[in-house]
Copies of this chain bind each other. A is one copy, B any other.
Amino acid sequence: MPVINFDSSASSGVHAKHERRKDARPGELLDAALELFVEKGYAATRVEEVAKLAGVSKGTLFLYFASKEELFKAVVRENISGRFQEWNTEFENFQGNSADLLRYCMTAWWQRIGSTKASGITKLMMSEARNFPELAVFFEHEVIRPGKVLMTRVLQRGIDRGEFRAIDMTYGAYILLAPMVFLAMWKHSLGACCDAGSQLVPEDYIALQVETILNGLSIRQTPPPLL
């Protein structure tokens, strides 16, 4: 049995593994999976690499996650979709005016998602949705839809309170989503490998987008006629 063990002076010649605690396994695997999915994308990430990064064997990964697809879904649930409840609560308890709420939304998004690996998941889904329709449907249900609902409620709150002008709510949410999704994409694509990336300071970009949007939603403005 030519097993080479670098870890320790294992008592016997036979494999001496089983070294870690089982409770931590799923979390370690999810961390490793997030890391690699964000770095390489879904298709290009090998489950064996995920396992290796988590310090376990290929088989162990499948002990905790039934398939690569389920692993990915768990990563999404862990890092994104599970948080909407908290965010909805924050929204409902928010006391300030709607401009401040909108500012808070976007800066909080940056701090909690945009600046973390979680934003890489958004990038990944936009990149690979077409080749993995089941994942796309899952992501749409778990992330896009609740995200759109929340953004719509933020805008509607402003309109209802007379703070924002009444825009078409069909696409209203995209006014807020587009800058965030763009930033997530940018950060994990061109921004991650070109000099150009260093030219975009996310906090400043967010601040500019927020203020322009707020100005754009201002009720004091008579909108110019369409083309």
What is the interface of chain A, defined by CB distance below 8 A to chain B?
Answer: 39-41, 43-44, 99-100, 103-104, 107, 123, 125-131, 133, 136-137, 139-140, 144-145, 165, 167-168, 170-172, 174-175, 177-179, 181-183, 185-186, 188-190, 192-196, 199-201, 204-205, 207-209, 211-218, 220-221, 223-224, 226-227
Known: A44-B131, A215-B218. A126 touches B190 (CB 8 A): yes
**Are the C-beta atoms of A208 and B167 separated by less than 8 Å?**
yes
Name A124's closest neighbour in chain B (CB-CB): B127
Residues in B with CB closer than 8 Å to A145 are 196
Interface SS, A side: helix
Residues in B with CB closer than 8 Å to A41 are 43, 127-128, 130-131
Known: A171-B204, A175-B212. A189 touches B126 (CB 8 A): yes
What is the CB-to-nearest-CB distance from A215 to chain B, in angstroms, rounded to a whole number?
4
**Are the C-beta atoms of A171 and B200 separated by less than 8 Å?**
yes
What is the CB-to-nearest-CB distance from A4 to chain B, in angstroms, rounded to a whole number?
24
Which of the listed residues A40, A130, A220 has the most CB atoms from chain B within 10 Å of its own CB? A130
Known: A127-B128, A190-B129, A209-B174. A215 touches B217 (CB 8 A): yes
Residues in B with CB closer than 8 Å to A213 are 212, 216
A to B CB contacts below 8 Å, 12 in the list: A40-B130, A104-B227, A126-B189, A129-B194, A130-B192, A140-B194, A170-B199, A174-B200, A179-B182, A181-B185, A212-B217, A218-B218
Which of B40, B144, B215 sits near A190, CB closer than 8 Å?
B144
Known: A182-B177, A213-B212, A226-B207. A189 touches B129 (CB 8 A): yes
Name A188's closest neighbour in chain B (CB-CB): B130
**Are the C-beta atoms of B216 and A107 separated by less than 8 Å?**
no
Which of B129, B179, B215, B226 sits near A211, CB closer than 8 Å?
B226
